[in-house]
Amino acid sequence: MITQHRAGARGRYLLGNVAGLVNSNRLLLLIAAVTAAVRLPSLFEPLWHGDEAIYLTIGQQILRGDVLYEDIFDNKTPGIYYLVAGVLALFGHAVWPVKLVLSFWSIGTVFVFYFLARRLAGEKAAAPATAILSLLTAPVWLEGNVYNSEILMILPACLGVLLGFSGRPFLAGLFFSLAMLFKVPAVFDFSAYFLFGSLSADKGSIRRAPLFCSTPRIRTTVTGSSSTTACLS
């Protein structure tokens, strides 16, 4: 009886925590649900976009032993090709697994962007900012349903900023470099983080800055970024 009572109490405690999380993040969950619903039809699309055809072809050739940029060439950074090669290796040579991974990737982006926006601008601004992100990256008319580097780069770039501001510089560097392996303009996200950290350190306001960075943390971030780039390039 005591064991059952304790199990019941733990269950009620867990359900209470889940209910609390749902209630405190209702707008975020709503935006994520709408994003998922908008992306759902893309799972049933045929291969019609030229860029996607190139990415899938190169991914297939990587799995067949071709060396990227030597045996087969395209002018994009390698992350997008190796990701699609991994998806094809796991799920088979079809379009829908790539679209499914893109959908989960986009929903993950919504969550990470929300928490980053909340950290930067507060609770009231986080939901509208995240809704705007979803509006700009999910609709078909903006090619939100297309497996493309512009969409893939957002998640690791946001994780890099969020981890850097949370005092995890090496992990931040890993995610910044991953973002750059998807698309080079992610270097500007890293530059913004680097600039903020440098200015905070120069002014001696590290402890007062709400988004805590320091010069040693910047160096560690650069180390993490260089390590991942060297390994995956």
Gap between the Cα atoms of 175 and 101, Å rounded: 18
Q: What residue ranges of the chain have pLDDT lower than 50? A: 13, 18, 204-215, 217-219, 221, 223-233
pLDDT computed for residue 113 by the predictor: 95
pLDDT at residue 10 in the model: 57
What's the pLDDT score for residue 12? 52
Looking at residue 229, its pLDDT comes to 44
Q: What is the pLDDT of residue 140?
A: 80
pLDDT, residue 218, reads 46
* pLDDT of amino acid 71: 93
pLDDT confidence of residue 144: 84
pLDDT at 230: 43
Position 4 scores a pLDDT of 54
What pLDDT score does 8 carry?
53
- pLDDT for the residue numbered 135: 92
Torsion of CA 152, 157, 162, 168, to 10 degrees: 110
Beta bridge partners of 68: 72
Provide the residue type at 67 as one letter: V
Can you give the pLDDT at residue 181?
Answer: 95
* pLDDT computed for residue 189 by the predictor: 87
